[in-house]
């Protein structure tokens, strides 16, 4: 059995174990190498359901399909009651649950839930700044004019809604937000700000900053990874060449600054000591971004070998040194992810999005199965 296949088999087993052990529940940010199981009220619940869809597509075992489908009513109810949706991560939540279900099964119900989610995300559009507001209400004094780089992975839900309905409003918002993100979050050397502030009164750009990174001018590794994958996806949908260039620019920076073992620390600018936390989830997201880029760039692109080499080194390191293949009872797939090191929240633990992107990369490497960010 090759390395990817062995890792996938192990992941399938763990996903099944979790489904059986925690029926109807969803994993939350964890501490102590044990997921906390709860309700659908954070930004991360879609990843768990997305893993079930990947597992189903990989092995065609109906167990995973039935488990994934059983969550749709819950995701619909969350939208209807607007539970903890005062943020932009509606794309993360619904691309991997409702869009995924529609894509795999053709369910009209799932399609309708996904379109309802796209409308909910659209309500966060702030036209005078040409941004989708990341967090809080429009009149929030701290966050009213704030974007974060993570939002690039929320845009596929809007691009998808445009394809489905033909309504240009979804495309225009996603395109304009991507352009603002490119202009203000990406720096000249290919590094990135985690967040950027605009003036809610006159729409003027104010400054870059961070929320989960080491300090305002530093490069939070997960943010950089969201940027690689997010701009590649924006290019896939729009064919706007500059998005592809930006994704490549971010990828080269990421690769140049990877640690010697090809897995990143939590921030590229943090002083590294023995106890400095890693973020395996950032490396898993970047691997998915590189897989996407490798499909989008020309065969003779000068970056092809660099990207291929980095992808394989990172994935090999994740499987061999960060996976829980040596821990059959573990709930997570990847050790040493970090959520919010500076805020002292889960600095070294399982991250459900790390698990999702690790599995997405593995099944793409092994069987060409893609995630649920666009129609294939």
User: Catalytic site residues?
Assistant: 89, 150
The mark string for 194-233 relative to ligand GLY (x by CB under 6 A, - otherwise) is: ------------------x---------x-----------
Number of residues that bind ligand GLY (CB under 6 A): 4
Least separation in angstroms between residue 288's CB and ligand GLY is: 14
User: What CA–CA distance (Å, rounded) separates 310 from 223?
Assistant: 18
> Judged by CB, which is closer to ligand GLY: 102, or 254?
254
Name which position in 69, 150, 267, 303 contacts ligand GLY (CB under 6 A): 150
Least separation in angstroms between residue 223's CB and ligand GLY is: 7
The mark string for 105-144 relative to ligand GLY (x by CB under 6 A, - otherwise) is: ----------------------------------------
The mark string for 6-25 relative to ligand GLY (x by CB under 6 A, - otherwise) is: --------------------
Report which secondary-structure segment, H or E, holds 312. helix 304-317
> Judged by CB, which is closer to ligand GLY: 53, or 266?
266
> Judged by CB, which is closer to ligand GLY: 150, or 355?
150
Least separation in angstroms between residue 47's CB and ligand GLY is: 11
User: What CA–CA distance (Å, rounded) separates 93 from 96?
Assistant: 6
User: Position of tokens 């706007």?
Assistant: 240
> Judged by CB, which is closer to ligand GLY: 284, or 330?
284
User: What CA–CA distance (Å, rounded) separates 58 from 74?
Assistant: 25
> Judged by CB, which is closer to ligand GLY: 237, or 357?
357
Residue 45 binds to ligand GLY (criterion: CB under 6 A) = no
In 3D space, the residue among 191, 299, 174, 279 whose CA is nearest the CA of residue 230 turns out to be 174
> Judged by CB, which is closer to ligand GLY: 140, or 366?
140
Consult the annotation and say whether 89 binds a ligand: yes
> Judged by CB, which is closer to ligand GLY: 339, or 350?
339
Consult the annotation and say whether 344 binds a ligand: no
Least separation in angstroms between residue 222's CB and ligand GLY is: 5
Consult the annotation and say whether 190 binds a ligand: no
Least separation in angstroms between residue 221's CB and ligand GLY is: 10
Consult the annotation and say whether 208 binds a ligand: yes
User: What CA–CA distance (Å, rounded) separates 156 from 234?
Assistant: 7
Least separation in angstroms between residue 89's CB and ligand GLY is: 6
In 3D space, the residue among 177, 275, 284 whose CA is nearest the CA of residue 221 turns out to be 284
Report which secondary-structure segment, H or E, holds 37. strand 36-38
User: Position of tokens 């994935």?
Assistant: 315
Question: Dihedral of the CA atoms 26, 30, 34, 35 (nearest 10)?
Answer: 0
Query: Do residues 228 and 236 touch, judged by C-beta distance below 8 A?
Result: no
User: Position of tokens 């202009």?
Assistant: 183
- Taken in order 79, 85, 90, 96, the sign of the CA dihedral is negative
How many residues does the structure list for the chain? 376
Per CB under 6 A, which of residues 302..361 are in contact with ligand GLY?
339
- DSSP code per residue over 128-151: TTTEE--BS-TT-TTTTTEEEGGG
Least separation in angstroms between residue 339's CB and ligand GLY is: 6
User: What CA–CA distance (Å, rounded) separates 347 from 357?
Assistant: 19
User: Residue with the closest Cβ to ligand GLY?
Assistant: 150
User: What CA–CA distance (Å, rounded) separates 115 from 132?
Assistant: 17
User: What CA–CA distance (Å, rounded) separates 255 from 257?
Assistant: 5
Report which secondary-structure segment, H or E, holds 108. helix 108-122
Query: Do residues 327 and 262 touch, judged by C-beta distance below 8 A?
Result: no
Binding site: what residues are annotated? Answer: 89, 150, 208, 210, 222, 226
Contact positions vs ligand GLY (CB under 6 A)? 150, 212, 222, 339
Binding site for substrate: what residues are annotated? Answer: 89, 150, 208, 210, 222, 226
């Amino acid at each position: 059995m090759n390395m990817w296949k062995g890792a996938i088999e192990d992941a399938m087993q763990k996903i099944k174990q979790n489904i059986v052990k925690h029926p109807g529940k969803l994993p939350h940010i964890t501490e102590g190498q044990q997921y906390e199981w709860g309700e659908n009220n954070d930004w991360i619940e879609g990843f768990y359901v997305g893993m079930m869809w990947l597992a189903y597509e990989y092995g065609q075992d109906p167990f995973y399909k039935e488990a994934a489908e059983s969550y749709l009513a819950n995701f619909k109810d969350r939208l209807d009651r607007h539970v903890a949706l005062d943020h932009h991560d509606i794309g993360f939540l619904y691309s991997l649950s409702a869009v995924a279900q529609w894509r795999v099964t053709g369910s009209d119900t799932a399609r309708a839930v996904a379109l309802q989610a796209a409308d909910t995300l659209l309500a966060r559009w702030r036209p005078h700044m040409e941004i989708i507001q990341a967090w809080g209400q429009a009149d929030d004094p701290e966050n009213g004019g704030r974007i974060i780089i993570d939002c690039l992975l929320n845009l596929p839900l809007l691009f998808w809604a445009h394809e489905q309905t033909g309504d240009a409003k979804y495309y225009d918002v996603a395109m304009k937000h991507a352009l603002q993100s490119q202009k203000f979050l990406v720096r000249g050397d290919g590094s990135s700000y985690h967040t950027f502030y605009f003036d809610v009164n006159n729409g003027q750009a104010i400054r870059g900053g961070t929320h989960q990174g080491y300090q305002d001018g530093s490069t939070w590794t997960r943010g950089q990874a969201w940027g690689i994958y997010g701009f590649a996806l924006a290019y896939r949908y729009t064919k706007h060449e500059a998005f592809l260039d930006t994704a490549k620019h971010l990828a080269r920076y990421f690769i140049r600054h990877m640690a010697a073992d090809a897995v990143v620390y939590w921030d590229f600018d943090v002083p590294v000591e023995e106890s400095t936390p890693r973020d395996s989830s950032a490396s898993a997201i970047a691997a998915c971004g590189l897989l996407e880029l490798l499909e989008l760039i020309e065969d003779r692109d000068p970056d092809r070998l660099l990207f291929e080499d980095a992808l394989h080194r990172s994935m090999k390191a994740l499987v061999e040194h960060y996976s829980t293949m040596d821990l059959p009872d573990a709930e997570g797939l990847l050790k040493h992810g970090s959520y919010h090191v500076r805020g002292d929240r889960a600095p070294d633990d399982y991250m459900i999005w790390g698990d999702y992107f690790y599995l997405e990369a593995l099944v793409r490497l092994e069987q060409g199965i893609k995630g649920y960010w666009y129609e294939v």
